[in-house]
Amino acid sequence: MIKDLIALATVMFSMRRWNNRPTFESISEASNSGFILHVAHLMGMLEISNGKKVDMSKLINRIILKDMPKCIISDISLSTKRMIQTLSPSAWDRMYKSSIDDILKDVPDKFKAQFEDAMINSRDESIEGKIVNAADLYAAFKEAETNVRFFPEYFKEPFESIKKAMYKIDLESFHNILEDEKLKNYLTQIAALMYAVRWNQHPRTVPTTVAGHTFFVTFTSYLIALEMNEINMLDVLERSIFHDVPEALTGDIISPTKRRVEGFETVVEEVESKMVNEILLPLLPSEIAKYYSPLMLKPFDGGIEGKVARASDLMGSLVECKMEIVNGMQIDFFRKSYESIKQQIKFMNLEVVNQMIV
């Protein structure tokens, strides 16, 4: 059942954003969700700094589950969705509910209510719902901002509509992000994860980015943590979200390269630490920077939570190899990598994870 959910989530890698328009840059739904996780997490931290109560686990849970119905019904444009809802709201509701019901078939009974709530109420009037909505708008704005320069005839209307909606958001954290140059610069640096292509030295049938990988790892770590006792869910999710942040600055340096000669991996880690500490963290309020630092630089430390985050990271790589094999990529690299990664996962001796191997 859980294995089927993991397989379903891989559809997010294939779905392209703005699919009915020409685009200068092609962003997948997975990459978009990976970026939204970072925007929303920063907003949540800012709201907490302002004295508000934010359930960060619920916030993350909503982001990783909110678009799962798209994996069933595909990506229907916002304008089309609104017209359908105007002409026959009951027809839209029945169709959308049927997609959720399909997903819930693969969810263990004890978690069905949690999944259903996250998919149906992701953008409700709670502070978590408002943050999800605002982060979603911000990510769409960043995409439209680039594309409107090249295809104004296709993007002027949605770009202006998104801007108008953004300035109606009544969250202090959101307006901090829009007005504070350091915070904007931080998110611009993080957005590079949407363009950092994984396995870039090999041809791919389904190209994936570091941001898309972030979404998938966080989704997988959530499924694993649900099945485990005595584990800090939020800690696992945050380690998963931030584990590849240094690659926004360094690019995706593959593990075989890091380990090609003795001592090189240590040098890369030192470079990552230096760049994160000198470029990224100074852009954040000091307390948030202090909180983010170990999540970015030591995500796999910290007992079982770090171990689950690492297992989820490996599962993400395993699934990407499996997609290439299933899609007929006739090179030995992905078959050999699949077997190697599978052995690494089994060596971790996490029975819940072993049962999820695809």
Per-residue pLDDT, averaged over 176-198, amounts to 96
CA distances from 340 to 136, 204, 210, 313 (A): 37, 19, 20, 14
Q: Indicate the burial class of 227 (C-beta count within 10 angstroms; 0-12, 13-18, 19 or more).
A: middle
pLDDT, tens digit, 9 for 90 and up, residues 85-103: 889 989 988 999 999 999 9
**Higher pLDDT, residue 50 or 331:** 50
Per-residue pLDDT, averaged over 164-176, amounts to 95
Average pLDDT, the chain: 93
CA torsion 40-1-336-305 (nearest 10°) is 50
Judged by DSSP in three states, 209 sits in: strand
Query: Is residue 1 pLDDT above 80, yes or no?
Result: no
Q: Which of 248, 237, 302 is nearest to 272 (CA)?
A: 248
Quick count: other Cβ atoms within 10 Å of Cβ 19?
A: 13
Alpha-carbon distance of 269 to 272, in angstroms, equals 5
The contacts found for 174-180 with CB under 8 angstroms, 24 or more apart, are 174/43, 174/131, 174/134, 174/138, 176/46, 177/39, 177/42, 177/43, 177/46, 177/138
Contact 215, 33 (CB under 8 A): yes
Contact 38, 240 (CB under 8 A): no
Judged by DSSP in three states, 258 sits in: helix
Judged by DSSP in three states, 233 sits in: helix
**Higher pLDDT, residue 41 or 255:** 41
Per-residue pLDDT, averaged over 319-330, amounts to 93
What confidence category does residue 330 fall into, taking pLDDT thresholds of 50, 70 and 90? confident
Per-residue pLDDT, averaged over 168-184, amounts to 96
In this predicted structure, what is the pLDDT of residue 254?
A: 67
Q: Which of 176, 184, 173 is nearest to 52 (CA)?
A: 173
pLDDT, tens digit, 9 for 90 and up, residues 221-279: 999 999 998 899 999 999 999 999 999 998 877 677 776 777 787 888 899 999 999 99
Contact 247, 258 (CB under 8 A): no
% the chain with pLDDT above 70? 98
